[in-house]
Amino acid sequence: MEVTRMMCNRMVNPLGYSLDRPRLSWVTEADDATKQIACQVQVAADEAFDTILHDSGQSKVIDSIGYTLPMKLEPCTRYYWRVYVWTDAGEVRSPIAWFETAKMDEPWQGKWITPEWEDNSIHPYVRKGFDINKEVAQARLYICGLGLYEAEMNGKRIGNEHLSPYFNSYTDWLQYQTFDVTDHLSQGKNVLGAMLGNGWYKGRFGFTNEKGIYGDRFALLCELVVHYTDGSTDIIATDESWKTKPSYIMGGNIYDGEVQDANKLVKDWSTPTILDDDWDGVRTIDIDFNLLEARRSIPVLIKETIQPIEVIHTPKGEVVLDMGQNMVGWVRFNIDAPKDTVINLQYGEDMQDGCFYRENLRSAKAEFTYISNGEPREVQPHFTFYGFRYVKVEGWQEEVKPEDFTGCVVYSDLETIGHIETSNPMVNRLFLNTMWGQKGNFLDVPTDCPQRDERMGWTGDAQVFSGTACFNMDSNAFFHKYLYDLAKEQKNLDGVVPHFIPSIGLSKKVEDRYQDAGSSAWSEAATVIPWNVYLHYGDKAILEQQLHSMKDYVDSIRRQDDGSRLWNTGFHFGDWLALDGEGDEFHRSGGTPTDLIATACYAYSAGLVAKAARVLGEKKLAKEYERLSKEVKQAFCEEFVTPRGRLVVNTQTAHILALFMDLVPDKLRKRILDSLVKNLEENNYYLKTGFVGTPYFCRVLSENGYNDLAYRLLLNEEFPSWLYSVKLGATTIWERWNSLLPDGRFGELGMNSLNHYTYGSIVEWMYRNMCGINPVEEFPGFKRVRLAPQPNAQLQYAKATLNSAAGRYESGWRYEEDNVHYHFRIPFDAQAELILPSAKISTTVVNGVPLQEQKQIRCSEQEDRLIIMLKTGTYEIQVS
């Protein structure tokens, strides 16, 4: 037995985060045990646990998916914790984990500083020399740089993060990071410094192509707190004594890339060997200290590296690297070229007519330029990123070889927890495309695309994909930060949710609030994402953090409905990019009326507010929003459903919403379902849905008796379908069903990303319905699950694994002759309600023994299904 995956707020040993009320979680792995008898949590001030600060005592009610510490935390303090678990097969003690608080309410001694130059386009080095003359016990650096920063000390980079302090609503809050720099210090002379870049804060960004949306000056704030073994402390903080000098970064931003001139490089600039007597001064800059908060963004890292698979020489004479995978990050290379050699890299997603192509990036230059100083050097950008598969190389002095370049895959530090495999290689590639889409677009915020002049945190994409995201990767901390920003932005708009988070200043104009904010399905990010996070991780903290946001969003609709309980005001994107729209101007919104979609979302979100309130014990609030949801559903039926059950709008999405969101009485569901199936038949069993209807389509079919049609939709290979893009060689999810035409040429260029994760939401159906792993609302966090796999002979086998908050689940099936063989694994101290379609007790064998002979297993037959209650263990089940 062992205790693993010990986390605080779903992070491993978090340092300097805004922890609020720390929530500890862990997983007990025990092959010979099935249930937890009791548990004990201890927190100490020291790793030896000589000074215990909290002891829960042996308790029968502590849950491994989340134990909230009932203790007051001190600033700048490391806490150690461990757990004891008693099981039906003995006891086990965990390893020791820790978390460390940030400054919290401690005042800053440092000042915001900026170079004294008037030219605010010059990218600076900023540094400070200091002496260390005592033995160091520990040192912490608290730092924020605007727009982006990379910190160094004594010639060594601090941390391995990129693009810090990340992307948030800078007008509402600024997050600082904390680093353990004890090992960076030396006796004698030391230097602390940072390079600064434009980033989202002051670089070109957003639809308006403006620079300096949040600010127009580089700025740095930091405090290096050094504790000595004699008990004394020094603080080296930013002030007017710091020095600055132009760096070798000559320009750049998120969209256009970066220019580096190594002739301007100050070698060893952050070491004492370089004197700064001739460096320029800095001045203080007025930035509100009340905006400063401890970090919430998890690190953005180089998570993987890949090598180019080929060097292509095009008909135009271009030299192009093929990475073999549409990815996000950059290419790193080693160079030893003559002085003033100019290396230029251009990044793109596709080749057209055998040549490099990037017209779909719109105005984004997506370039990297390096001017050599004649010295050998490893080169990569500092303050930008690219979405690409292909890289055009210009200026390389010798033959371009794949081994000269390394692709750095960059995304937020998310643990991959889910995997799916089937007998169909194209479906497997579709799953991988979805995973790569999540990697590429989960870069601090859930962006809509990582390559063109957009890369914004669109709410609609995030909410429809959030279920898939939580199955694929542990997205708890990631979404905590995104939703925190969402709630901050809402406060500026009386609860209305901007179209993208952060809103990059657009929605601050009150007169434009309903143009830049408030679309149904997009705004559902406020309600759907926190509920999905709660379901997957059993995390009440996300509901506590977001309940007011959820409520305020629904209230913003209620203020518009004039008592009609219809949402028929404001701007809405509709069923974005659906294929059933009419007309050139508005075809992107699809054919489903926006007021139908909006009213459906109104009812659905009101219901989610009620559920969240009930979880948190807010009974009065829960009843109010349950009543509101029912009223909106009634209004929906009166407006859009005839008394006999016919929807007045014959689109696939209208029917899907009515069924998935439970908007109609049970007596009308069959007619609406029949109508949906007829619509599908009339379209030759191909979907016509967009961003709103697609995520739920297969789920509605599988959960309402048409599982075969769900598989048919999945396995269609011609346009429009998921496998159409796979057939054409896609390695990520496309924005449009036909981003590329059958001949491989681009469709519309104005809005056409080849890495746009929304339609990857089909993967949630794969986990839930194909493989059958479903979280249960009454027992969130997968302590109890509903296992309901729905096999179909159009595949020979399918299997999924999920390292859930409660432990590892496995669920799969395969066909062998006339039998269906199932494999399940239920983790320690968990239970599953297994629902097997078309199975009977008399024809089912569990672990080699007929089920009817296993009296210790609870089971029952209900109509066309068999229900079996499974406890911890591994099960091989055969149904004849």
Indicate which residues carry an active-site annotation. 454, 735
Task: Please say whether the beta carbons of 280 and 245 come within 8 A.
Answer: yes
- The dihedrals phi and psi of 91, each to the nearest 5 degrees, come to -130, 160
Task: Please say whether the beta carbons of 697 and 712 come within 8 A.
Answer: no
- The dihedrals phi and psi of 635, each to the nearest 5 degrees, come to -65, -40
Helix, strand or coil, per DSSP, at residue 672: helix
Q: How far is it, in rounded angstroms, from Cα 312 to Cα 321?
A: 6
DSSP H or E segment with residue 80: strand 78-87
Q: How far is it, in rounded angstroms, from Cα 693 to Cα 119?
A: 50
Q: How far is it, in rounded angstroms, from Cα 80 to Cα 49?
A: 8
The position carrying tokens 């109104």 is 602
DSSP codes, 488-556: HHHHTTTTPPBSBSS-TTGGG-GGGHHHHB--TTTTTHHHHHHHHHHHHH--HHHHHHHHHHHHHHHHH
Q: How far is it, in rounded angstroms, from Cα 392 to Cα 260?
A: 17
Q: What are 595's two structure tokens?
A: 């007021």
Q: How far is it, in rounded angstroms, from Cα 151 to Cα 197?
A: 12
Q: How far is it, in rounded angstroms, from Cα 501 to Cα 495?
A: 14
Cα 505 to the center of its chain, rounded Å:
22
Cα 5 to the center of its chain, rounded Å:
19
Q: How far is it, in rounded angstroms, from Cα 621 to Cα 604?
A: 16
- Output the CA–CA distances (angstroms, integers) from residue 590 to 130, 582, 594, 762, in the order listed: 63, 7, 9, 19
Q: How far is it, in rounded angstroms, from Cα 703 to Cα 788?
A: 10
The position carrying tokens 């518009």 is 560
- Output the CA–CA distances (angstroms, integers) from residue 103 to 16, 87, 185, 769, in the order listed: 8, 39, 21, 46
Q: How far is it, in rounded angstroms, from Cα 241 to Cα 282?
A: 7
| Residue 211 DSSP code | S
Closest CA to 439 of 405, 406, 463, 475: 475
The position carrying tokens 């922890």 is 19
Given CA atoms 523, 526, 528, 532 in this order, what sign does their dihedral have? positive
Q: How far is it, in rounded angstroms, from Cα 213 to Cα 205?
A: 8
Q: What are 135's two structure tokens?
A: 């033995």
- The dihedrals phi and psi of 592, each to the nearest 5 degrees, come to -80, 125
Q: How far is it, in rounded angstroms, from Cα 276 to Cα 280?
A: 8
Given CA atoms 546, 551, 552, 556 in this order, what sign does their dihedral have? positive
Amino acid at 671: R
Closest CA to 683 of 580, 577, 583, 581: 580
Task: Please say whether the beta carbons of 565 and 634 come within 8 A.
Answer: yes
Q: What are 448's two structure tokens?
A: 């809509």
Buried b (16+ CB within 10 A) or exposed e, 538-550: bbbbbbbbbbebb
Q: What are 397's two structure tokens?
A: 């002095």
Amino acid at 673: L
